[in-house]
Amino acid sequence: MPFYYFPFSAILNAITSSILGFFVLFKNPKSPTNRSFFYFAFSVSFWSYAYFLWQISNNANSALFWCRILMAGAIFISPAFLHFCVNLINERKRYLNAVIFWYFVSFVFLLLDFTPLYIADVRPRMIFPYWPSPGPAFAPFLVMFFGVAVYSHVLLLRAYKNLSEFKRNQIKYVFLGTAIGFLGGSTNYPLWYDINILPIGNALVAVYVATIAYAIVRHQLMDIEVLIKKTLIFASLFAIVLGIFVGITVLTQELIAGGRLLGLAISSIIIIFSVRPLEDFLVKVTDKYLFQKRYDYKQVLKSFIDEVITVLNLDRIVESTIDLLGKTLRPASSDILLLNRYEDKYVSYNALKHDEIFTIGNDAQLVGLLKTTKDIFSLENAGSTVHGTALRDTMKKLKAQLAIPLMLHDDLIGIMLLGKKKSDETYTKEDLDILTDLARTEAVAIGNAQLFAETAQNERRAAIGTLAAGINHEVGNPLNIINTKMQIYLMSMERGLYKDKEPQEIIEESRDIMKTCLRQTTRISDITKKLSNFAKPSKEFKPEVTDIEEQLEETLSVVGHELELERIGIKRNIQRPLPKIMADKRQIEQIFFNLIKNAGQAIKEKGTIEIKAGISQEKNGRNVKIEISDTGQGIPGDKLQKIFDPFYTTKAPGKGTGLGLSIVRQLVWRNKGEIKVQSKVGGGTIFTITFPEGKAA
């Protein structure tokens, strides 16, 4: 091992640590994590600079002095690292006392540092002329150094389980880098105790700098990505330019006597012409290899565009879009405003982590502009006219750098707002192209989801209509009978019809009227009980032990009447006893309600709906199998495949919303069941549902 390896590794550690430390600090001096990292990096670089000066000392006195200085840095490395770790895992408060305690102990060691208690003297060991010898206080220091370092790493490991994927990645690199760094640095200690091992690991200290820098760029550790990126590019550029300059100057000097000026001229020309392309090249290379995640974002956005179109839930569309934009383009803020047609305003959708709700009126200048250009508006293009100033004010109020119109059939249904990029970079042409694509799909997806919500609402209204008709009939008929009976009784009395009658006769008649009224009121209360039970909104999924037959009868008591009116007979074929299932009763009723109503609608003139229920043995055990078949016109094969799709309907326009069966299937799945359909044109349709037998949990 050449001797100059040691001073060289020291200076490498010193420079890299101090650069990284200061970067992190300047990027965000207010962040405790950044500050504590600086203390750590500063301790390491302080130690390394002094290490370098100690290595090049040429007498014992100076070597002892620099030794003491370097140890002043080394003393604080472990406690500062602990400090950084507790900040990184967000456990500042919990470990505050430990951090203060170890800093305090370090100060005690610092006071001892300039006494022989800590470093006794320096003497030659192996290839080193002035290696320090430990005083009695040095061993306790070593215990602290390793103890606290190991303890800090343990804290990182312990926290690892409970942290987000995002934070885990950061911790992984910090852990790896510092573990290697500490191990490498520790190779300095054996020689103190005359163990003949050279401090060969010294250069490994710089590994932590590299891994942490990597974690910063790849995993947004301490949020200083851009600075690192710019520095990296600048450093490489500088090195290359210097290389060219030195290389050519030296070469020309060697080859041509007095060629110094010529070399200077040649290298200057080369540098002038190569700097721009070189920089572009370096940006591309760093983007591709170090910032790969960001480089791939276009791919991510493209696949998102394909996916979002299939989502029918407005919340999910908006939330996932904002989430995705946050991860890929990393704007400081993002929001989606949707047109509220009643208030004629664009209102920010209740997005995640939103502290402010923005609105803009439909008459705002920005809205008018987006409607006419149908293109992304960037704050940079606002211009300085009066018009531009107003636009700029609106954008600033919305904290937006970009306003992206969501156009659906020439209608501005919403506006996507993106703030400045966190990286301070501007949006590139490529970004804007992808955002335009995204906006186009987003608009369709949002439009679909809104339509879906609206039709689901209509579906609910239709169900309420059926219920209302049921109530009207089931409750209205008995009420009419009671009402008429009473009218007749009173009328007869008023007209003196009872005058000539025997008391016994009048009593008999009164008793008949009372009996009828009682019978009819019982009929009313029965049906209202059933109806209210049926109409109860199912807020959440509540599985319980459910008797299929009971739910079937409940449903039939509501829809049965309507079917009878339409001259549709209902045939039951139920195998008893049926096993119970675990399901949400309300949802089971909804499934039957929709299927039976559908069966009824499939029957044009007279017909029969047959409901069979029995036990079937499936792979997963015993199942309850329900078949609902009709004698309707049947569904042809190509349409049969689509009947569970939302919006698909075989009914005449205006007759069905096409959501019934897609909802039915969702409900069946949610209750761990399966649904199948068979049909023959002219021969009717059979829906088969199976639910696994269930026991109370």
Partner 1 sequence: MEKTKVAVVDDEIEYVNDLSRGLEILGYHVSKAASGSHAIEVINRDRPDIVLCDYKLDDMDGTQVIEKTKQNNPKTIYIMVTAYFDESLEGAFIKAGAVKVIYKPIQLIELDSAIKALIKG
Our CB check for partner 1 shows the closer of 369 and 475 to be 475
Site for partner 1 in 472-511 (CB under 8 A): 472-473, 476-477, 479-481, 483-485, 487-488, 491-492, 495, 497
Question: From the CB of 481, what's the least distance to partner 1, in Å?
Answer: 5
Map residue 612 onto helix, strand or coil. strand
Helix (H, G, I), strand (E, B) or coil at 211: helix
Helices (H), 114-222: 138-160, 165-186, 205-219
Give, in order, the Cα–Cα distances in Å from 648 to each of 24, 442, 641, 661, 670: 57, 22, 10, 9, 21
Quick one: how many helices (H) and strands (E) in the chain? 20, 15
Compute the least distance from the CB of residue 655 to partner 1, in Å. Answer: 16
**Between residue 357 and residue 396, which ones bind partner 1 under the rule CB under 8 A?**
none
- For residue 489, the minimal CB distance to partner 1 (Å) is 10
Q: What is the DSSP string of 517-569?
A: HHHHHHHHHHHHHHHHHHHS---S---EEE-HHHHHHHHHHHHHHHHHHTTEE
Shortest distance, CB of residue 567 to partner 1, whole angstroms? 8
Q: Residue 414 corresponds to which amino acid?
A: G
Residues in CB range of 475: below 8 A, 6 or more apart? 524, 527, 528
Least Å distance between CB 569 and partner 1? 13
Q: Could you tell me if 595 and 555 are in contact, meaning their C-beta atoms sit under 8 angstroms apart?
A: no
Question: Using CB under 8 A, which of the segments 61-69, 261-269, 367-375, 467-475 binds partner 1?
Answer: 467-475
Strands 568-574 and 607-618: parallel
**Count of residues of this chain found to bind partner 1 when the rule CB under 8 A is applied:** 21
**Could you tell me which of 218, 138, 140, 144 has the C-alpha nearest to residue 177?**
218
Q: Cβ closer to partner 1: 488 or 615?
A: 488
Q: 91: which 2 tokens? A: 């456990």
Shortest distance, position 560 Cβ to partner 1, whole Å: 14
Segments in 32-137 forming alpha helices (H) = 32-55, 60-88, 96-113
Q: Minimum distance between the CB of residue 482 and partner 1, rounded to whole angstroms?
A: 8
Distance of closest approach, residue 480 Cβ to partner 1, in angstroms:
5
Residue with tokens 């509501």: 558
CB atoms within 10 A of CB 284: 11
Cβ proximity to partner 1, 396 vs 473, nearer residue: 473
Q: What x/- string results for residues 559 through 588 when contact with partner 1 is judged by CB under 8 A?
A: -----xx-x---------------------
Taking the least distance from each CB to partner 1, the nearer of 557 and 587 is 557
Residue 115 or 480 with smaller CB distance to partner 1: 480
Of 57-86, which residues contact partner 1 (CB under 8 A)? none
Min dist. Cβ of residue 477 to partner 1 (A): 6
CA distance 367 to 414: 10
- Residue number, 266 or 481, with CB nearest to partner 1: 481
> C-beta of 523: minimal distance to partner 1 in Å?
11
Dihedral sign of CA atoms 171, 175, 176, 181 in order: positive
Window 517-556: contact mask with partner 1 (x via CB under 8 A): ----------------------------------------
What's the min distance (Å) between Cβ of 503 and partner 1? 20
Of 510 and 616, nearer to partner 1 (C-beta) is 510
- Residue 247 or 465 with smaller CB distance to partner 1: 465
Distance (Å, whole) CA 126 – CA 128: 6
Verify cis geometry, omega within 30 degrees of 0, for the bond prior to 199. Answer: no
Structure tokens, 159 = 């926290």
Q: Is residue 441 at the binding interface for partner 1, with CB under 8 A as the rule?
A: no
Nearer to partner 1, 477 or 650 (CB): 477
Q: Are 166 and 219 in contact (CB under 8 A)?
A: yes
The C-alpha atoms of residue 256 and residue 240 are separated, in whole angstroms, by 24
Residue entry with tokens 């807020």:
539
Taking the CA atoms of 477, 480, 486 and 491 in sequence, report the sign of the dihedral they define.
Answer: negative
Q: How far apart are CA 11 and CA 625, in angstroms?
A: 78
Closest to partner 1 by CB, 392 vs 485, is: 485
Return the number of the residue (194 or 564) whose C-beta is nearest partner 1. 564
Of 3-11, 199-207, 426-434, 466-474, the window that binds partner 1 (rule: CB under 8 A) is 466-474
Smallest gap from Cβ 602 to partner 1, in A, equals 21
Binding mask 612-651 for partner 1 (x = CB under 8 A): ----------------------------------------
Q: Which is nearer to partner 1, 458 or 483 (CB)?
A: 483
Q: Contact residues for partner 1 (CB under 8 A)?
A: 469, 472-473, 476-477, 479-481, 483-485, 487-488, 491-492, 495, 497, 516, 564-565, 567
